[in-house]
């Protein structure tokens, strides 16, 4: 039994060993990043307020300059980190005398005042935090949606050049996690993810997590909630034990990404991605691995460049002879997205991924993970994933 | 006398209109000399007023008095109480005029016996009429010289800012778009638009009522609406505006204002859909500061359930709307000057019937113009409310940080900054008040220069009537 398990994980162990060598090179650099102290955060917020007061004293309209988080022109790529914001970035100006931007100006100031209070109170050793939804529900008319709060907190983090976790404002999580993992939340709550039937919501305070205990051999990121639930239902974590599975339910939120990053930083075990064989799935996988344009200013704490593409590979569709009626033709949008992905800087260092994507381009079809049920109802958890893991079927 | 003067002006204007069609210039001068005879001046009961109308300048170039004889005969017939000819005017008066505009192209003198003309009230009416005339004929500089009962006065009706507009059928008008409203105190020098920007509305065909046709009025009759909203607040997009007065002015096809009250326009407010316009009511009023004679003035009241407390703190500029109704007529069988004059007199005589015959269309046209004007007003109000709501959050959040900060350098820096513009800001209460005032002023009176408000090409000399506006 033990030798069977050992054989099963041999490829994974080899990968683990290889990754550990590389971790020694990068870890020191990552740890060199300093935490910003609370007083510095307060000073940065105060300087913004002082600028506003100075503008008004000169009878000028106050203006906020936000680094542009949506432009590729502000992005540079480093294979060890991923997509990160350039030091010389363009800014978007938010004016207080323009009706089209004054509401955003007010929203930023409001959240700044909340952050200021939270950070200030933390200096007395009481860790006070606030959820995005609390800010939203206290000011629904001002913000309109919780998404607006999320976006502005990111803008503030980027503007102040302060990590999100240091702002004491936490986003609600949408991700789920399950498997061989135990940890303690900041408030002392002990979390055990071992349950086979139900998953645990990803914590809202990843930086507050401590005492992580796991003997998992790998982590599997799953794109969709439906696939995640399927794996739970099929008791995947028990059958392919020990492992951890996590999903961000589509495009991952920051907490899901932070969790994956935290697991990598703590455990240094292989991290695989199981996504649909379509451009959207590949893009989601790239977000975990290399980061996003919008959050590039915090790439260091969000990206896991060691993520491997386990499946569903376009070449799997041919190899497994997935029935044609389970395949979907690429739309114009898919083709455009695929071209855009192939031009991204991070793919130049991934020839195997490029090959798979070009195969998709040539075949002009895509497929969801669920298409494997066309071969057999439990093909995914009984055959596909075990074989992939056993024989090193990742790229 | 006013009627007679209108007739003479009609003749000159109709001649000018014919010449305009030939693409000739329309600027120039018009001299009106009115004087009483000295031998009867002491007997007011037998007051005789002599009137000389003279025209010179590019707009009259090519006119020959001899060719006008048939029209002048007709004119005299229509002005029968007048005495033809009358005493000649003082040549020196005329020479001063010709020095400015060149040789006279038109000269007509007549005499009227009427005690009313010797009163200051009548003079005020005359001046108001001439101002209204100048409003739509800004290219013509009018010199009015009065010597009534040995009291002499000289008035010049010249226009500071003109704008040429092209109506349908390539009809060109030069409008007086000068805005004399003083700038609010928050406006910096040189940052106030002193002109209005006329908006050309729709051209509405008018059907001629049968009884008017029986009197001899045929052809195509229409009205072109032009609106002029003043003062212009385009450079101040964040200031709220409030339409408080509307004045309707009607001009006949020769571009002479139609005087006298209009029953149709007086009853118009009753049929307007005020709810659709977001107004409480519109009613006919006598606007004390009436600058222009004739026409109908309305007072506009907005909804009374707006928040009075918020309203009092929000800067609002009151505006007035001028609605020009330019009547146009064409009849292929009417081309002689005499016939044109007769046609126009028919239109004026039966104007009420014509307006009533086209009530629905005219009411709809006015409703449309008001809606367009108020659209901008409502948009401004929404913008201002947005700014106001956001400003409260900005101030509250900023003061929350200042008040709770333990960084004395930061707090002192904030207080000292505002001390530059406000003499005494000792504590956060005063800081909050001065920040609020400054933020309000800065956001409400945000200045966005508009080329069409501050173009330097607007001033036009009388002898140069090239298009006056450069829309950059």
Distance to chain B for A121, nearest Cα, Å: 11
Cα angle A81-A83-A84, degrees, rounded to a multiple of 5 = 85
Q: Strand, coil or helix: what is A332?
A: helix
Instruction: List the beta bridge partners of residue B154.
Output: B145
Instruction: Name the region of B396 (left: φ>0; alpha: ψ -120 to 50; beta: rest).
Output: alpha
Closest CA to B219 of B308, B301, B339, B139: B339
Cβ atoms of B284 and B266 within 8 Å: the answer is yes
Instruction: Spot the catalytic one: A136, A137, A288, A391.
Output: A137
Report residue B160's pLDDT band, with 50, 70 and 90 as the boundaries: confident
* H or E element that contains B221: strand B220-230
Instruction: List the beta bridge partners of residue B111.
Output: B50, B83
Q: Which two tokens stand for residue A148?
A: 């607006």
Which among B393, B400, B417 is the nearest to A106, CB-wise? B393
pLDDT of residue A113: 95
Instruction: List the beta bridge partners of residue B52.
Output: B33, B109
Q: Looking at per-residue confidence, does A368 or B311 come out higher?
A: A368
Note the pTM of the prediction, 2 decimals.
0.80
| Residue B301 pLDDT > 50 | yes
Cβ atoms of A302 and A262 within 8 Å: the answer is no
Q: How far apart are CA B99 and CA A220, in angstroms?
A: 98
Distance to chain B for A60, nearest Cα, Å: 6
Report residue B468's pLDDT band, with 50, 70 and 90 as the boundaries: very low
Task: Determine contact: A375 vs chain B, CB below 8 A.
Answer: no
Backbone angles phi, psi at A315, to 5 degrees: -70, -25
Q: How far apart are CA B298 and CA B268, in angstroms?
A: 10
pLDDT of residue A24: 59
Give B170-228 pLDDT, tens digit per residue: 778 899 999 988 888 888 888 999 999 999 988 999 999 999 999 999 999 999 999 99
**Residue B423 DSSP one-character state:** S
Instruction: List the beta bridge partners of residue A213.
Output: A182
Q: How far apart are CA B447 and CA B186, in angstroms?
A: 11
Instruction: List the beta bridge partners of residue A367.
Output: A277
Give A291-318 pLDDT, tens digit per residue: 988 888 888 889 999 999 999 999 999 9
Most confident of A87-101, A154-168, B271-285, B382-396: B382-396
Question: What mean pLDDT is predicted for residues B369-397?
Answer: 93
Q: How far apart are CA B245 and CA B249, in angstroms?
A: 13
> ipTM of this predicted complex?
0.80
The answer to whether the Cβ–Cβ distance between A97 and B387 falls below 8 Å is yes
pLDDT of residue A359: 96
The answer to whether the Cβ–Cβ distance between A54 and B390 falls below 8 Å is no
What's the distance, CA A199 to chain centroid? 18
CA distances to A188, B254, B335 from B16, rounded to whole Å, are 95, 9, 14
Q: Which two tokens stand for residue B364?
A: 């709809």
Is A288 a residue of the active site?
Answer: no
Cβ atoms of A46 and A35 within 8 Å: the answer is no
Shortest CA distance from A96: residue in chain B: B443
pLDDT of residue A266: 94
Q: Looking at per-residue confidence, does B81 or B318 come out higher?
A: B318
From chain A, the residues in CB contact with B412 under 8 A are: none
Q: Which residues of chain A have pLDDT under 70?
A: 1-8, 23-35, 123-129
Most confident of A288-302, B32-46, B69-83, B276-290: A288-302
Distance to chain B for A115, nearest Cα, Å: 10
The answer to whether the Cβ–Cβ distance between B446 and A113 falls below 8 Å is no
Q: Which two tokens stand for residue A16?
A: 């683990």
């Amino acid at each position: 039994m033990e030798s069977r398990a050992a054989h099963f994980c041999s490829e994974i162990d080899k990968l683990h060993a290889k990754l550990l060598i590389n971790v020694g090179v990068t870890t020191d650099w990552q740890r060199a990043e300093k935490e910003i102290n609370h007083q510095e955060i307060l000073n940065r917020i105060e300087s913004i307020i002082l600028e506003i007061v100075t503008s008004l004293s000169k009878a000028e309209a106050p203006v906020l300059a936000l680094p542009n988080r949506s432009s590729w022109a502000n992005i540079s790529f480093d294979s060890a980190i991923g997509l990160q914001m350039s030091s010389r970035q363009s800014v978007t100006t938010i004016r207080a005398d323009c009706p089209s931007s004054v509401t955003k100006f007010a929203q930023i100031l409001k959240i700044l005042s909340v952050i200021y209070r939270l950070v200030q109170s933390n200096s007395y050793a009481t860790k006070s935090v606030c959820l995005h939804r609390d800010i939203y529900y206290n000011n629904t008319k001002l913000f309109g949606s919780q998404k607006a709060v999320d976006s502005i907190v990111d803008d503030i983090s980027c503007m102040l050049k302060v990590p999100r976790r240091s702002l004491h404002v936490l986003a609600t999580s949408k991700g789920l996690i399950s498997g061989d993992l135990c940890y303690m939340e900041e408030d002392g709550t002990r979390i055990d993810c071992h349950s086979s039937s139900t998953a645990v919501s990803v914590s809202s305070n990843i930086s507050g997590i401590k005492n992580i205990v796991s003997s998992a051999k790998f982590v599997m990121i799953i794109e969709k909630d439906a696939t995640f639930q399927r794996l739970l239902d099929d008791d995947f974590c028990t059958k392919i034990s020990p492992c951890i599975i996590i999903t961000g339910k589509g495009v991952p939120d920051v907490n899901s990404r932070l969790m994956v990053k935290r697991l990598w930083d703590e455990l240094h075990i292989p991290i695989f991605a199981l996504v649909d064989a379509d451009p959207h799935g590949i893009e989601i996988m790239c977000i975990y691995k290399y980061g996003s344009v919008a959050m590039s200013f915090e790439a260091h704490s969000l990206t896991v460049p060691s993520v491997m593409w386990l499946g569903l590979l376009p070449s799997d569709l041919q190899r497994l002879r997935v029935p044609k009626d389970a395949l979907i033709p690429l739309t114009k949008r898919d083709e455009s997205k695929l071209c855009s992905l192939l031009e991204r800087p991070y793919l130049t260092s991934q020839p195997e991924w490029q090959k798979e994507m070009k195969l998709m381009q040539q075949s002009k079809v895509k497929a969801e993970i669920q298409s494997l049920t066309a071969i057999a109802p439990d093909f995914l958890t009984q055959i596909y994933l075990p074989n992939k893991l056993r024989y090193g079927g990742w790229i | 006398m006013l009627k007679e003067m209108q007739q003479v002006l009609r003749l000159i204007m109709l001649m000018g209109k014919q010449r305009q069609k030939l693409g000739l210039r329309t600027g120039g001068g018009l001299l009106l000399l009115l004087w009483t005879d000295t031998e009867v001046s002491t007997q007011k009961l037998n007051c005789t007023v002599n009137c000389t109308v003279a025209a010179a300048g590019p707009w009259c170039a090519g006119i020959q008095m001899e060719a006008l004889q048939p029209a002048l005969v007709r004119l005299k017939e229509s002005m029968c109480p007048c005495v033809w000819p009358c005493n000649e005017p003082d040549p020196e008066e005329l020479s001063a005029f010709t020095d400015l505009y060149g040789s006279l192209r038109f000269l007509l003198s007549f005499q009227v016996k009427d005690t009313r003309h010797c009163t200051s009230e009548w003079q005020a009416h005359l001046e108001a009429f001439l101002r209204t005339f100048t409003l739509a004929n800004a290219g013509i500089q009018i010199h009015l010289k009065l010597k009534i009962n040995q009291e002499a006065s000289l008035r010049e009706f010249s226009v500071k800012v003109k704008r040429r507009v092209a109506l349908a059928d390539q009809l060109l008008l030069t409008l007086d778009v000068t805005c004399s409203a003083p700038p609010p105190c928050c406006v910096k020098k040189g940052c106030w638009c002193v002109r209005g920007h006329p908006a050309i509305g729709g051209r509405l065909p008018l059907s001629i009522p049968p009884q008017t046709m029986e009197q001899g009025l045929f052809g195509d009759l229409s009205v072109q609406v032009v609106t002029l909203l003043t003062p212009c607040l385009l450079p101040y997009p964040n200031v709220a505006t409030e339409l408080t007065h509307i004045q309707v002015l009607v001009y006949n096809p020769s571009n002479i204002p139609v005087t006298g009250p209009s029953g149709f326009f007086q009853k118009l407010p009753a049929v307007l859909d005020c709810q659709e316009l977001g107004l409480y009511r519109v009613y006919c009023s006598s606007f004390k500061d009436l600058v222009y004679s004739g026409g109908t003035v309305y007072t506009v009241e907005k909804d009374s359930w707006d928040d009075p407390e918020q309203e009092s703190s929000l800067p609002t500029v009151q505006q007035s709307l001028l609605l020009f109704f330019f009547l146009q007529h064409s009849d292929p069988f009417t081309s002689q000057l005499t016939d044109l004059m007769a046609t126009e007199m028919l239109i004026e005589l039966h104007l009420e019937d014509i307006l009533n015959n086209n009530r629905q269309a005219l009411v709809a046209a006015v409703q449309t113009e008001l809606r367009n004007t108020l659209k901008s007003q409502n948009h401004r109000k929404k913008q201002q409310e947005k700014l106001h709501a956001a400003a409260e959050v900005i101030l509250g959040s900023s003061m929350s940080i200042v008040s709770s900060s333990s960084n004395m350098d930061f707090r002192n820096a904030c207080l000292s900054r505002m001390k530059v513009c406000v003499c005494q800001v000792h504590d956060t209460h005063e800081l909050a008040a001065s920040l609020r005032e400054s933020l309000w002023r800065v956001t409400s009176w945000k200045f966005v220069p508009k080329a069409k408000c501050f173009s330097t090409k607007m001033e036009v000399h009388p002898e140069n009537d090239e298009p006056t506006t450069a829309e950059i």
